[in-house]
Structure 1
Amino acid sequence: MHANLYALGAIALWASLASLGVALTHVPPFLLTGIALLIGSVPAWPFVLRDPAQWRIPVRTLALGVYGLFAYHFLLFIALRHAPPVETNLVCYLWPLLIVLLSPWLLPGVVLRAPHLLAALLGFAGAAIAITGGAIAGGQALSGTLAWGYLPALAAAFIWASYSLLTRRVAAFPTTAIGLFALVSGLLSLLCHALLEPAAALQPRDWALLALLGLGPLGGAFFMWDRALKLGDARHIGILSYITPLASTALLLLVSGRPLNASIALATLMIISAAVIGMRAR
């Protein structure tokens, strides 16, 4: 139960990512990610100042953390630059499905049963309806065209799914180490900004939104997600994660003043059904 609550907490924070991102579209993406990740590392600082040993982790574990936090966002932003954003978002949200499907391969003793597979596919279908239906309701049309940017989007989905599972395969590390992952990933993002992006001047409102982004979807959510994975069943958590695109799309519609539509209602029913099927599977 505690694992599910931590997962739902992370999902609730990630639901605000798109809305905050829309408000910060004028900020270069690597600069945005770098500052937000550095801010996201701050909650771990008091614990590390009291006990520096909490950040003394094997290089292999740190590399895995940077692989998850930095590589995922790097590929996500590359994808968003070279493919339509709605379809890119949909491809990136393959990661909950991949968590379920990869669990038997990456976690010893985990077996994938038919109900898990059914729930994963039903959840992904609901997520697809939430994203595409929300886009159509917002006046956006799906391009229906192929773009090479879908490849980094698919790679990003694989990275987040495999990172989430592989944290169970490395030597046990305290959740406060997520702050170190975020700190190093943020510094790498700022290096990418310095090398690849033009300089940008930030206004006070931008800093306030970046603080919300860092303490929420690019900070606090990572700590909650780590606790959920340490305490719970990765298959169940992967299925619950389909709430993320649903909540994200619904929040975008509300923030933009557009009404909720039938596609969101259908997606809600499908995702809740997927969660119930997945949770009852043994």
Structure 2
Amino acid sequence: MDARETRADAATAGDERDGAGRSAGRLRATGVGAVAVLLWASLALLTTLSGRVPPFQLTAMAFTVGGLIGLPRAVRGGAALARGLPGGAWALGIGGLFGYHFFYFLALRNAPAVDAGLIAYLWPLLIVVFSALLPGERLRWWHTAGAVLGLGGTFLLVTGGQGVHLRGEYLLGYTAAAVCALVWSAYSVANRRYPQVPTDMVAFFCLATAALAAVCHLLFEDTVRPDGWQWLAVFALGLGPVGGAFYVWDHGTKHGDIRLLGTFSYFAPLLSTTLLVAAGRADASWPVAAATVLIAGGATLASADALRAARRGN
């Protein structure tokens, strides 16, 4: 074997190691992003435990906590970068976090909760579809099929197997729910455009969202003071589903597999219902069991190529 062949073999081996390293890093980032799904599963339970605090007030309080937990790192490592961030990054971060919650609450005010919630939860499917627009991403049939199975499971879970009857008088609410789904899916996919923006910046996005939610609260709601353990529920919301979750989601959407994250997101309502059942605030039923099969099957199907890649890496 001459020197040129030796160098070529070494270069090939190096490329394979680099490829394996990138795949492993992508898989780790996907796992980090999936933590957000676990945190969002606690949203319904913690919201019920927070009492009768109105939604915009609760959003302002929780996002304040969420922003403060990341503020020390953001100020220490990213204050200068924050001043130099492109306007698009600010608009995307604040618009995604605040826009989703604004349109979600608008939907709940103007349409039945089941109908609005189901329409709003089109965002995981939209993430999978929109991912085809990203450079280097290819949308395969099993990604879409897995997302559709997850949507079917969510439909069973949200409706309890009773179906949905859309009515014209709720058009504003339905439209707001659709915009809600569009905003969050667009934010999640477009976030890949700013990989250079550190996740610490989410602290500033959370605090800006808290300020905007506080303005909406003052305009549209009466203030309700939490009592006793309700304060703990509000704090937990800020640490988890309405605050902390957005840090790990930011990292996952920027560096992980966005298609898998979209499909895995359907586990959030399933795990949420499971927590409510375990806490005695909901009843177990056949739709829950059927939804488990559909969502787990859809996630497995959508992750087929990632699982194959992981086995090859081992």
Superposition TM-score, scaled by structure 2 size: 0.82
Shift of 1:103: 1.2
Which one of 178, 195, 217 corresponds to residue 154 of structure 1? Answer: 178
Q: Please name the residue that 2:62 is paired with.
A: 36
Mapped pair 1:185 → 2:209 = yes
Task: Give the 3 Å change call, closer, same or farther, for CA 248–255 of structure 1 in structure 2.
Answer: same
Shift of 1:25: 5.0
Q: Is the 8 A contact 1:44 1:176 kept in 2?
A: yes
Letter in 2 for 1:253: V
Shift of 1:248: 1.3
Mapped pair 1:50 → 2:76 = yes
Moved more, 208-217 or 252-261: 252-261
Mapped pair 1:71 → 2:99 = yes
Which one of 122, 145, 165 corresponds to residue 189 of structure 2? Answer: 165
Mapped pair 1:196 → 2:220 = yes
Rg larger in structure? 2
Deviation string 1:131-162 (CA, Å, 9 cap, x unpaired) is: 222xx7xxxx7662421211101110110000
Partners of 1:228 and 1:201 lie apart in 2 by: 35
% of aligned pairs identical?
A: 39
Shift of 1:230: 2.1
Partners of 1:142 and 1:116 lie apart in 2 by: 25
Shift of 1:19: 1.3
Partners of 1:4 and 1:171 lie apart in 2 by: 14
Q: Please name the residue that 1:280 is paired with.
A: 304
Shift of 1:171: 5.9
Partners of 2:42 and 2:210 lie apart in 1 by: 20
Task: Give the 3 Å change call, closer, same or farther, for CA 169–258 of structure 1 in structure 2.
Answer: closer
Partners of 2:302 and 2:209 lie apart in 1 by: 33
The 3-state SS of whatever aligns with 2:199 is coil
The 3-state SS of whatever aligns with 1:73 is helix
Q: Is the 8 A contact 1:130 1:263 kept in 2?
A: yes
Letter in 1 for 2:227: Q
Structure 2 portions without partners, runs of 5+: 1-26, 307-314
Shift of 1:55: 3.0
Letter in 1 for 2:148: L
Q: Please name the residue that 1:23 is paired with.
A: 49
Deviation string 1:147-205 (CA, Å, 9 cap, x unpaired) is: 12111011101100000011112362000111111010110100111122223333233
Q: Is the 8 A contact 1:116 1:281 kept in 2?
A: no
User: What is the CA RMSD across the aligned residues, in angstroms?
Assistant: 1.8
Shift of 1:112: 1.4
Letter in 2 for 1:110: E
Moved more, 189-198 or 149-158: 189-198
- The aligned length equals 275
Q: Is the 8 A contact 2:39 2:245 kept in 1?
A: yes
Mapped pair 1:144 → 2:144 = no
Which one of 180, 193, 198 corresponds to residue 174 of structure 1? Answer: 198
Shift of 1:18: 1.1
Q: Is the 8 A contact 2:157 2:269 kept in 1?
A: yes
Q: Please name the residue that 2:280 is paired with.
A: 256
Which one of 150, 169, 182 corresponds to residue 123 of structure 1? Answer: 150
Shift of 1:23: 2.6
Q: Is the 8 A contact 1:34 1:190 kept in 2?
A: yes
Q: Is the 8 A contact 1:41 1:183 kept in 2?
A: yes
Shift of 1:54: 4.8
Letter in 2 for 1:215: L
Partners of 1:27 and 1:257 lie apart in 2 by: 18
Shift of 1:87: 1.9
Partners of 1:162 and 1:169 lie apart in 2 by: 11
Letter in 1 for 2:259: R
Partners of 1:125 and 1:180 lie apart in 2 by: 36
Q: Equivalences for 1:75-86 in 2 at 5 Å?
A: 75-86=103-114
Q: Please name the residue that 2:15 is paired with.
A: none
Q: Equivalences for 1:179-258 in 2 at 5 Å?
A: 179-258=203-282
Q: Is the 8 A contact 2:64 2:207 kept in 1?
A: yes
Task: Give the 3 Å change call, closer, same or farther, for CA 194–4 of structure 1 in structure 2.
Answer: same
Partners of 1:152 and 1:72 lie apart in 2 by: 10
Moved more, 32-41 or 193-202: 193-202
Superposition TM-score, scaled by structure 1 size: 0.91
